[in-house]
């Protein structure tokens, strides 16, 4: 009798585990399908579709006329199912925004010039009605490793992307050697914005 009870308990546990796994897989694939529909800028069932996520590169001149090379990567968002399954693992790990906002994205950027290399995190969103329009903000990865004095990248707005081209308008914030910010309304450099076009870095 004890043997039969043990066998029955094991069978119930196995069935329960299978059902739980089945529910998880259904939820996972529904989440994938939902993201393909709600985040067409990030996901597509067609491998040939051009997406916003990926790596981009270009160049621009900052307000001091210093030529800078920029490379950025926009991460693939974390799906709802992945978010739940990996919540504890990703709570302290970058790489995929964890918001339910279907328009938001994050990433990294590197800006190189004769002054040094500026490293940034990116946070932005696509437009509510047209996901080919976007904006994002720059934030230094490490405040103590900023390249100073310098016109640091602040934000990119009026963004548009299509296929392998991404065009944005960059604005800047000047920081002194000690890290403090400085602005002078009489100096046009501090109000300057720069329009630049980036190309997709193909694999």
Is this prediction's pTM over 0.85?
no
Output the six-digit token pair for 179: 């890290």
DSSP 8-class letter at 65: -
Q: How many angstroms separate the CA atoms of 75 and 148, rounded?
A: 28
Q: Tally DSSP H helices, then E strands, for the chain.
A: 3, 9
Divide the 203 residues of the chain into consecutive groups of 10 and give the mean pLDDT of each group: 59 57 45 61 90 97 98 86 54 48 93 98 95 97 97 98 97 97 96 98 90
Task: Return the pLDDT at 45.
Answer: 86
Task: Return the pLDDT at 48.
Answer: 86
Measure CA of the first residue to CA of the last residue in the chain; give whole Å: 63
Output the six-digit token pair for 116: 């040094």
Q: How many angstroms separate the CA atoms of 173 and 190, rounded?
A: 7
Residues 6+ apart with CB under 8 A from 59: 67, 68, 69, 70, 196
What is the SS3 assignment for 133? strand
């Amino acid at each position: 009798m004890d043997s039969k009870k043990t066998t029955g308990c094991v069978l119930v546990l196995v069935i329960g585990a299978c059902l739980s796994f089945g529910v998880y897989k259904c939820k996972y694939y529904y989440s994938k399908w939902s993201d393909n529909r709600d985040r067409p800028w990030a996901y597509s069932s067609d491998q040939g579709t051009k997406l916003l996520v990926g790596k981009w590169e270009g160049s621009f001149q900052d307000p001091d006329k210093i030529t800078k090379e920029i490379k950025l990567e926009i991460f693939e968002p974390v799906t709802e199912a992945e978010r739940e399954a990996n919540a504890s693992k990703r709570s302290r790990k970058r790489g995929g925004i964890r918001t339910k906002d279907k328009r938001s994205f994050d990433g990294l950027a590197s800006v190189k010039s004769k002054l040094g290399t500026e490293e940034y995190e990116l946070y932005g969103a696509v437009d509510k009605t047209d996901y080919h329009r976007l904006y994002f903000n720059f934030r230094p990865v490490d405040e103590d490793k900023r390249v100073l004095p310098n016109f640091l990248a602040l934000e990119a707005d009026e963004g548009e992307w299509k296929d392998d081209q991404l065009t944005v308008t960059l604005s800047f914030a000047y920081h002194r050697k000690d890290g403090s910010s400085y602005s002078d309304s009489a100096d046009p450099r501090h109000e300057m914005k720069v329009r630049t076009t980036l190309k997709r870095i193909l694999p």
